[in-house]
Every structure is written in structure tokens, then in C-alpha cells.
């Protein structure tokens, strides 16, 4: 590099983003660390991540590496694009994925909003995934991370070409063990810091408690639990408590296990049935996009994930309308637990093709 290219690294205080900054520094980049304050101040005191300790750790790492560090207030953007939609989604009987929306609106947009003032060429994060260039088309592609246990490509299907050109993922070819080893070698204070396993803004015992305490009064509606024949089996005090495929917590007495089959936000009726009533074969998606908009994906077969922690299943795109951001997926074999609000993500040979949010299944 004749002139050092500048990169803003999103630093959470964890080992992944810290090693990201260290590796880019070793590669000759001019590195700036940046930590986003995302949670309301009171919530940040209780959160396992995104707290004051995380900001402190990020600053300590930057001091160790000899790079500048900035803390930015991104609370309003996080409230508007992640927390409020999360609450509203559950209030409407959906099962949202806030990490997808955080990556869609926060992780890169917020960092990049400071690029001009800091004269940055790139933004970088500690995601475990890889960006590779297609030599034939010159387009950039996203691939799964080398470590299958840490791959985070599922959350990044919405990143378009123009953004990919300015993003770096230095950890994509590494395992988590290797990342910790690098952190230890560089004597970073968070080398052994545990990973956060929870939704960062949910400090209560469960997401149900969080939603119950934050949902507006006008959206708290009791309703009935019915079987597929329309018989009333019980009552509930809010559809936010349920997700498709749920078995526990129904408080129903029956001779066989019952599962949530359907949640109707208009009538507040939760429909339950047996396990054989769960599988669905067709999935409708909204907010659908692909990383390479010039690629024709209609009638092509893909490996598919409808939740982050699952083995891939198989299906094809029977219809895709990129202008309206919609698509229809036909699964090879009907599957259980396809929940409205989760993301359906498409892969081909470890390459991330695209995805969207599930709006309907049958």
C-alpha cells in the first residue's frame, strides 16, 4: 500500500472485534476503533454486552494497539430499527430475529455514517464470513466462515454490492480457537472473554418477560387457544408468548402432545395441533434481496436455512420479484417450525445467495 487505507472497526469490547482491529493493523491499514452505544442507559447496566464494561474493554484494546477509539451514540437508531420492531413483531404473533435487523440497519450503516468525516475507505467487523471477488463478473460474493460453529453469514444476506466494496471481514478464514490464540499472543485483555449468547437488550429472564414489560397496553389482547376443528381448549393473555412449533408453556391438558400451528393477530386465536400438522412446503418472503442482483435465481435449487442454528434443507425459488422484494420458496421436503418473522436464507456451495423475511407458509 502506497498510502495507508483507513478502516473503521466496529468494536463491541469482545475478542472478535479486538482481533479484527489487530489483524488489520498488521496488514498495514490505518485503523480506527469505534464502539456504538445501543441500549438505553438503564438497560445497558444490566446487559451482558453493549454495556459500560464493553466500552471500557474496547478502549483498553485500542490503547494497547495504539489506535484511536471513538464512542458514538446510536441509541435512537437501535431503538427505531431493532427494539421497537422486535416488540411489535411479537405483538403481531411473529417470531422476529433482531440480529438480522441489527445487521441490516445498524452494524454497517451507523459505522459508515462516520466514514466521510474520518476519511475512511472501509468499515470492518468481527463477523465470521468471507468476501471473495468473482473474476468473471468482478462482483463480490459472501461465503460462509471457515469455522462452521461460528459462521454468521445468515445475518448478512441483505448487504448489497455497493456496500460490500467497502466492508472487510478479517476473521472469515479463522476458527474461534485461533482468534483467541491471536488475542493471547497480542496480550489483549479480552482474550478469554466469554461470548455473549443472548439478545443484547433482553436483560430479563426471558424474551417473554421483556416483551410483556415493554408492549403497549393497546396491544395486550387476551384470546383463545383452539384446535384445528375450532374447538376452544384454553385461553391466553397475549399472542406474543407463542411461536410456531412451540410445545411447552401451552398449559393445556390433552392425551397427546400439542404444538402451535398458527397464530392469528386479527382474532388473537392460537391454533394448536399434533406434530404431523406442523410441516410446511411453501414459504412466502418479504424484504427479499440477493447479493448479486444480476443473477437469475428463479427455478434454481438452493440449500436453505429458516433459522440460524439449523442444518440446511433443500428447495427452489419458484418465483422472485426483486423490484418488490418478494419471493416464493418451494421446499423439497415439508419442514416443521417455519415461523413468520424469521429469515429464510439461500446458499449454494457455501456461498450466500440472498434471503428475506418469512411472511407466510403453507
CA angle 310, 312, 318 (to 5 degrees): 125
| Active site (catalytic) residues | 102, 200
DSSP 344: E
β-sheet bridge partners, residue 73: 37
CB burial of 49-85 (b: ≥16 within 10 Å; e: otherwise) equals bbbeebbebbbbbbeebebebbeeebbebbeebbbeb
Enumerate residues 6+ apart whose C-beta is below 8 A from 169: 124, 125, 127, 128, 129, 130, 131
Look at the alpha carbons of 247, 248, 250, 252 in this order and tell me if their dihedral is positive or negative: positive
β-sheet bridge partners, residue 283: 329, 361
Count CB atoms within 10 A of the CB of residue 161. Answer: 14
Q: What is the distance between the alpha carbons of residues 39 and 348, in angstroms, rounded to a whole number?
A: 36
Q: What is the distance between the alpha carbons of residues 315 and 298, in angstroms, rounded to a whole number?
A: 11
Q: What is the distance between the alpha carbons of residues 75 and 57, in angstroms, rounded to a whole number?
A: 19
Amino acid at each position: 500500500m502506497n498510502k495507508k487505507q483507513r478502516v473503521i472497526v466496529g468494536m463491541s469490547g469482545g475478542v472478535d472485534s479486538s482481533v479484527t482491529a489487530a489483524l488489520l493493523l498488521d496488514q498495514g491499514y490505518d485503523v480506527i476503533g469505534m464502539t456504538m452505544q445501543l441500549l438505553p442507559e438503564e438497560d445497558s447496566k444490566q446487559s451482558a454486552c453493549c454495556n459500560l464494561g464493553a466500552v471500557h474493554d474496547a478502549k483498553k484494546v485500542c490503547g494497547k494497539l495504539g489506535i484511536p477509539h471513538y464512542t458514538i451514540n446510536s441509541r435512537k437508531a437501535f431503538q427505531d430499527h431493532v427494539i421497537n420492531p422486535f416488540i411489535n413483531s411479537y405483538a403481531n404473533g411473529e417470531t422476529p430475529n433482531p440480529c438480522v435487523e441489527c445487521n441490516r440497519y445498524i452494524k454497517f450503516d451507523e459505522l459508515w455514517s462516520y466514514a466521510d468525516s474520518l476519511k475512511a475507505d472501509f468499515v470492518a467487523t468481527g463477523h465470521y464470513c468471507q468476501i471473495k471477488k468473482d473474476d468473471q463478473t468482478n462482483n463480490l460474493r459472501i461465503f460462509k466462515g471457515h469455522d462452521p460453529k461460528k459462521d454468521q453469514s445468515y445475518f448478512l444476506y441483505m448487504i448489497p454490492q455497493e456496500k460490500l466494496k467497502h466492508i472487510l471481514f478479517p476473521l472469515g478464514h479463522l476458527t474461534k480457537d485461533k482468534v483467541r490464540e491471536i488475542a493471547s499472543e497480542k496480550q489483549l485483555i479480552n482474550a478469554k472473554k466469554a461470548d455473549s449468547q443472548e439478545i443484547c437488550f433482553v436483560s430479563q429472564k426471558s424474551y417473554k418477560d421483556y416483551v410483556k414489560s415493554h408492549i403497549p397496553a393497546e396491544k395486550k389482547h387476551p384470546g383463545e387457544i383452539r384446535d384445528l376443528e375450532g374447538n376452544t381448549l384454553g385461553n391466553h393473555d397475549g399472542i406474543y408468548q407463542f411461536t410456531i412449533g412451540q410445545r411447552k408453556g401451552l398449559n393445556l391438558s390433552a392425551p397427546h402432545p400439542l404444538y402451535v400451528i398458527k397464530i392469528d393477530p386479527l382474532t388473537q386465536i392460537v391454533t394448536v395441533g399434533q406434530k404431523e400438522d406442523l410441516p410446511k412446503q411453501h414459504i412466502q418472503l418479504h424484504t427479499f434481496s440477493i447479493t448479486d442482483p444480476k443473477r437469475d435465481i428463479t427455478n434454481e435449487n438452493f440449500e436453505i436455512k429458516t433459522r440460524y442454528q439449523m442444518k440446511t434443507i433443500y428447495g427452489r425459488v419458484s418465483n422472485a420479484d426483486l423490484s418488490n422484494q418478494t419471493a416464493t420458496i418451494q421446499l423439497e421436503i415439508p419442514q416443521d417450525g417455519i415461523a413468520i418473522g424469521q429469515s429464510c436464507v439461500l446458499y449454494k456451495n457455501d456461498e450466500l445467495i440472498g434471503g428475506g423475511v418469512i411472511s407466510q407458509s403453507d
